Structure 1
Amino acid sequence: MPLPLTTEPAVDADGPLTLPDAPRAIPRPAIPWLASAVPVAGALAFWAFTGSAFALWFALLGPLIAVAGVVDGARTARRERRAETTRADEVRGRVAARVAARHDAEREALEARHPDVRGHVRRPDAVWRGADSADLLVLGRGELDSTLRVTASGDDPADLAIVRAARRIPDAPVTASCAEGIAIVGPPVLTRAVARALVLQAACVAAPGRLEIAADVAGEESWVADLPQTRMPAPCRLAWMTADAPTDGHARLVEARPGQPLPPGCTHVIELTAPTRARLAGPGRSVEIEVEAVSRAQAAVIATGLLARRAPADAVEAVPLLALRPPVRERERRGLPCAIGMAGAAPAVIDLVADGPHAIVTGTTGSGKSELLVSWVLALAARFTTADVCFLLADFKGGAAFDALRDVPHVTGVITDLDGGGARRAIESLRAEVRRRERVLAAAGARDVADVELPRLVVVVDEFAALREAHPQFDALFADLTARGRALGVHVILGTQRAAGVFRDALLTNCGLRVSLRTNDPHDSAAVVGVPDAADLPGGPDGRGLALVRRAADARPQRVRIALSDASDVAAACMGAGERPPAPWAPPLPPRITRDEIAAAGLVLGLRDEPERQRRTPWTLGDADRTLLVIGDAGVGKSTLVRTVAAQSARPLWIGPDAEHAWDALCAAMLHPPAPDTIVLLDDLDALIARFPDEYGRAAVAAVERLVREAPALRIRVVATVQRLAGVARVADLFAGRVLLRIGERAEWLAAGGRADDHDRDAAPGRGVIAGTAVQVAVCADAPETPPRAEPPLWQPTGALSGYVAPRYERAAVTRWERAGVRVRAVDAEGDPAGAVPGQPVVLVGDPEQWLARPRQLERVRATGELVVDVACARDLRLLTGDRDVPPYAHAGRGRAWRYGADAPVRRVAVAPSIP
Structure 2
Amino acid sequence: MIRADVPLTLPARPADSPRPGFPLVASLAPLAAAGVIWLITGSAFVLIFAVLGPVIAVAGMVDARRTGRRARRAAAADEERALVALRAEVSLRHEQLRRLRRQRTPSANDIVAAPHSALRWASSGSTSGACAGTEVSLGFGAVPSGLRLDGGSGPDDHRALRDWAATLTDAPIGADVGGGVGIVGPLPLGRALARGLLVQLACALPPDQVAIRVPDSGWAWVAALPHDAGQPSARRVVVCEAPATGQALGTAGGPGGTGTTLVVALARAVDELPWGCDTIVRVQGPSRAEVMRSAEHAWGTAFRPELITAVQALRVADELTARAGAAGLVRGRRSIPASVCLGELSGHLLDAHPRYRRSAALSLNCVIGVGEQGEVSLDLVAAGPHAVVGGTTGSGKSELLVTWVAAMAAVAGPAEVTFLLVDFKGGAAFAPLRALPHCVGLITDLDGHQANRALASLAAELTYRERVLRRAGVRDIVDLAAQNTQQALPRLVIVIDEFATMLTTFPDLHALFVDVAARGRSLGVHLILCTQRPTGVVRDALLANCTLRLSLRVNNRADSVAVLGTDAAAALSAEAPGRCLIAVASSGPELCQVATTAAPDIRAVADRHGSATVLRRPWLDPLPAAVRRGTLLALVESGAAVDEAAPGCLLGLLDEPESQRYRVARYDPATDESLLVIGGGRSGKSTALASIAAQFAPAGPVDRPGGDIETVWDALVEARRRLEAGERAASRLLVLDDFDSVHARWDQEYRPAALELLAGLLRDGAEGGLRIIIAAQRLTGSLQALPALCRSRLILRLPDVPEHVAAGGVAALFDTGLPPGGGSWQGHRIQLLQPDALGSTPDDLVRVSPAVHPDPVTPAGRPGRTLLVVAGAPARAAASFGAVPGTRVIDLASASPAAVAEARRTAEAEPAGPGSLRLTEAETGTVFVGDVDAWQAQWSLLSILRRSADLVFDGCSLADYRAISRRRDLPPPLAPGRDRVWVLQPDGTVRRAALRPRP
Is the pair's TM-score, using the shorter chain for normalization, greater than 0.5?
Answer: yes
Larger displacement relative to structure 2 (622-631 or 483-492): 622-631
Secondary structure of the structure 2 residue equivalent to 1:872: coil
Q: Residue 626 of structure 1 contacts residue 711 of structure 1 at CA under 8 Å; is this kept in 2?
A: no
1:338 corresponds, among 363, 366, 369, to: 366
Distance change (3 Å), C-alpha of 1:578 and 1:866: same
> Does residue 510 of structure 1 match 2:549?
no
Distance change (3 Å), C-alpha of 1:521 and 1:550: same
2-structure distance, mates of 1:448, 1:585: 22
Aligned partner of 1:688 in structure 2 is 742
2:350 corresponds, among 312, 319, 325, to: 325
2-structure distance, mates of 1:609, 1:20: 84
> Does residue 616 of structure 1 match 2:644?
no
1:307-337 Cα deviation digits (max 9, x unpaired) = 9999953345534379312428654322222
What's the CA shift for 1:893?
Answer: 4.9
1:243-642 correspondence to structure 2 within 5 Å: 313-320=336-343, 323-327=348-352, 330-343=358-371, 347-406=375-434, 408-417=436-445, 425=453, 428-452=456-480, 453-521=488-556, 524-525=559-560, 527-529=562-564, 534=569, 539=574, 543-567=576-600, 569-570=602-603, 572-573=605-606, 575-576=609-610, 579-589=613-623, 593=627, 597-599=631-633, 602-622=648-668, 623-631=670-678, 638-642=685-689
Aligned partner of 1:658 in structure 2 is 708
Q: Residue 606 of structure 1 contacts residue 776 of structure 1 at CA under 8 Å; is this kept in 2?
A: yes
Aligned partner of 1:845 in structure 2 is 929
* Partner amino acid, structure 2, of 1:102: Q
Secondary structure of the structure 2 residue equivalent to 1:486: helix
1:678 corresponds, among 704, 721, 732, to: 732
What's the CA shift for 1:460?
Answer: 0.6
Larger displacement relative to structure 2 (446-455 or 694-703): 694-703
TM-score by length of 1: 0.63
1:849-888 correspondence to structure 2 within 5 Å: 849-854=933-938, 858=942, 862=946, 866-872=950-956, 874-877=958-961, 886-888=970-972
Aligned partner of 1:95 in structure 2 is 89
Larger displacement relative to structure 2 (467-476 or 753-762): 753-762
2-structure distance, mates of 1:777, 1:29: 111
- What runs of 5+ residues in structure 1 fail to find an aligned partner? 1-13, 34-59, 113-120, 131-203, 205-305
Distance change (3 Å), C-alpha of 1:696 and 1:524: closer
Distance change (3 Å), C-alpha of 1:30 and 1:693: farther
Q: Residue 374 of structure 1 contacts residue 565 of structure 1 at CA under 8 Å; is this kept in 2?
A: no
* Aligned sequence identity (%): 37
Secondary structure of the structure 1 residue equivalent to 2:672: coil
1:799 corresponds, among 833, 847, 862, to: 862
Distance change (3 Å), C-alpha of 1:835 and 1:467: same
* Partner amino acid, structure 2, of 1:688: V
Q: Residue 953 of structure 2 contacts residue 981 of structure 2 at CA under 8 Å; is this kept in 1?
A: yes
2-structure distance, mates of 1:438, 1:641: 39
2-structure distance, mates of 1:129, 1:705: 82
Secondary structure of the structure 2 residue equivalent to 1:869: strand
Larger displacement relative to structure 2 (480-489 or 599-608): 599-608
1-structure distance, mates of 2:500, 2:126: 23
1-structure distance, mates of 2:543, 2:430: 25
- What runs of 5+ residues in structure 2 fail to find an aligned partner? 23-53, 107-117, 128-205, 207-326, 481-487, 634-642, 904-916
1-structure distance, mates of 2:592, 2:794: 58
2-structure distance, mates of 1:858, 1:77: 110
Q: Residue 339 of structure 1 contacts residue 348 of structure 1 at CA under 8 Å; is this kept in 2?
A: yes
Distance change (3 Å), C-alpha of 1:566 and 1:345: farther
2-structure distance, mates of 1:848, 1:532: 93
Distance change (3 Å), C-alpha of 1:872 and 1:597: farther
1-structure distance, mates of 2:337, 2:571: 11
Secondary structure of the structure 2 residue equivalent to 1:394: strand
> Does residue 126 of structure 1 match 2:126?
no
1-structure distance, mates of 2:15, 2:774: 92
> Does residue 708 of structure 1 match 2:762?
yes
* Partner amino acid, structure 1, of 2:122: D
TM-score by length of 2: 0.58
* Partner amino acid, structure 2, of 1:336: L
What's the CA shift for 1:557?
Answer: 0.6
2-structure distance, mates of 1:742, 1:21: 83
What's the CA shift for 1:819?
Answer: 6.2
Aligned partner of 1:210 in structure 2 is none
2-structure distance, mates of 1:313, 1:760: 51
Q: Residue 681 of structure 1 contacts residue 718 of structure 1 at CA under 8 Å; is this kept in 2?
A: yes
Q: Residue 647 of structure 1 contacts residue 780 of structure 1 at CA under 8 Å; is this kept in 2?
A: no
What's the CA shift for 1:128?
Answer: 5.8
Q: Residue 871 of structure 1 contacts residue 891 of structure 1 at CA under 8 Å; is this kept in 2?
A: no
1-structure distance, mates of 2:819, 2:126: 50
Aligned partner of 2:994 in structure 1 is 910
Q: Residue 707 of structure 2 contacts residue 737 of structure 2 at CA under 8 Å; is this kept in 1?
A: yes
1-structure distance, mates of 2:478, 2:861: 94
Distance change (3 Å), C-alpha of 1:768 and 1:490: same
* Partner amino acid, structure 2, of 1:320: G
Distance change (3 Å), C-alpha of 1:636 and 1:810: farther
Q: Residue 856 of structure 2 contacts residue 998 of structure 2 at CA under 8 Å; is this kept in 1?
A: no
Distance change (3 Å), C-alpha of 1:544 and 1:873: closer
The structure with the larger Rg is 2
> Does residue 896 of structure 1 match 2:980?
yes
2:779 corresponds, among 721, 724, 744, to: 724
Count of residues paired in the alignment = 689
Q: Residue 738 of structure 1 contacts residue 770 of structure 1 at CA under 8 Å; is this kept in 2?
A: yes
What's the CA shift for 1:639?
Answer: 4.5
1:805-844 correspondence to structure 2 within 5 Å: 805-809=870-874, 811=876, 814=879, 818=883, 822-827=887-892, 828=895, 830=899, 838=922, 840-844=924-928
Distance change (3 Å), C-alpha of 1:752 and 1:852: same
What's the CA shift for 1:343?
Answer: 4.8
What's the CA shift for 1:571?
Answer: 6.1
* Partner amino acid, structure 2, of 1:373: L
Secondary structure of the structure 2 residue equivalent to 1:492: strand
What's the CA shift for 1:631?
Answer: 4.7
Distance change (3 Å), C-alpha of 1:572 and 1:850: same
Secondary structure of the structure 1 residue equivalent to 2:393: coil
1:6-32 Cα deviation digits (max 9, x unpaired) = xxxxxxxx9xxxx99999999999999
What's the CA shift for 1:636?
Answer: 5.6
1-structure distance, mates of 2:427, 2:709: 52
What's the CA shift for 1:677?
Answer: 3.8
Distance change (3 Å), C-alpha of 1:885 and 1:469: closer
Aligned partner of 1:214 in structure 2 is none
Secondary structure of the structure 2 residue equivalent to 1:555: strand
1:760-818 Cα deviation digits (max 9, x unpaired) = 78877765555544444555358899976444444443323342331215849945862
